[in-house]
Amino acid sequence: MFEKVKELLEESLQIDVSEISMKSELVGDLGINSLELADLILSCEEKFDIEINDEDIHKFVTVGDVVNYLSEVLGE
C-alpha cells in the first residue's frame, strides 16, 4: 500500500518519491497545501473505489496515516 500511495503522490502532486517515507508529514515535509490534499483524497477515492469521509481527512498528518487508513478500509 505504501508503494501505491507513493505513486499517487508522484503522479498527482509531482512529489519526488525519494522524499517520501511513512513518517513524511504531508504538509510539513512534503509541502502539500489544502487543495493538493483534496486532490490526493480524490485520487485515492478514484484509484481504490472508496469514499473517504470528511471527518477522516483530518487524521491524515503523515504518509503513514494515509497508508494505514487505506489498508484498514481496504482490508489489506
pLDDT at 27 over 90: yes
| pLDDT, position 6 | 95
| pLDDT, position 70 | 96
The radius of gyration of the chain from alpha carbons, rounded to an integer in Å, stands at 11
Domains of the chain: 2-74 (1.10.1200.10)
Helix (H, G, I), strand (E, B) or coil at 62: strand
pLDDT at 74 over 90: yes
Displacement of CA 48 from its chain's centroid (Å): 12
| pLDDT, position 12 | 86
| pLDDT, position 23 | 98
55: left (phi over 0), alpha (psi -120 to 50) or beta: alpha
Is the separation of the CB atoms in 30 and 19 below 8 Å? yes
| pLDDT, position 76 | 83
Amino acid at site 13: L
